[in-house]
Amino acid sequence: MADDKQTITIDGAEYNVAHLSDNAKAQVTNLRVTDAEIEKLKQQLAIYQTARTAYARALSEELPKKEVH
């Protein structure tokens, strides 16, 4: 999909949203909302993965050290 709100690109073809049917416009809106939510989830996942790494590192530092022979 194109970033421009006036057009949308689907399967390599560009469409002017103003010329689409009302049902097609509704689906474009649904796609845009869904894409935005997916991006938010990706950002949240990155935050959680970073936090998990930090927690694992903190746990590792708290564990008793094993002696290497």
Q: How far apart are CA 47 and CA 38, in angstroms?
A: 14
Residues of the chain above pLDDT 90, percent: 86
Enter the pTM of the model.
Answer: 0.72
* pLDDT surpassing 50 at residue 3: no
Domain count, the chain: 1
Q: Does residue 32 fall inside a structural domain?
A: yes
Is the pLDDT at 53 greater than 90? The verdict is yes
Domain for residue 27, yes or no?
A: yes
Measured CA to CA in angstroms, residue 63 lies from 26, 57, 58, 66 at distances of 55, 10, 9, 9
Q: Given pLDDT bands bounded at 50, 70 and 90, which one contains residue 4?
A: low
Domain that includes residue 46, residue range:
20-61
Residue 14: its H or E element? strand 13-16
Q: Which residues contact 31 (CB under 8 A, 6 or more apart)?
A: 1, 8
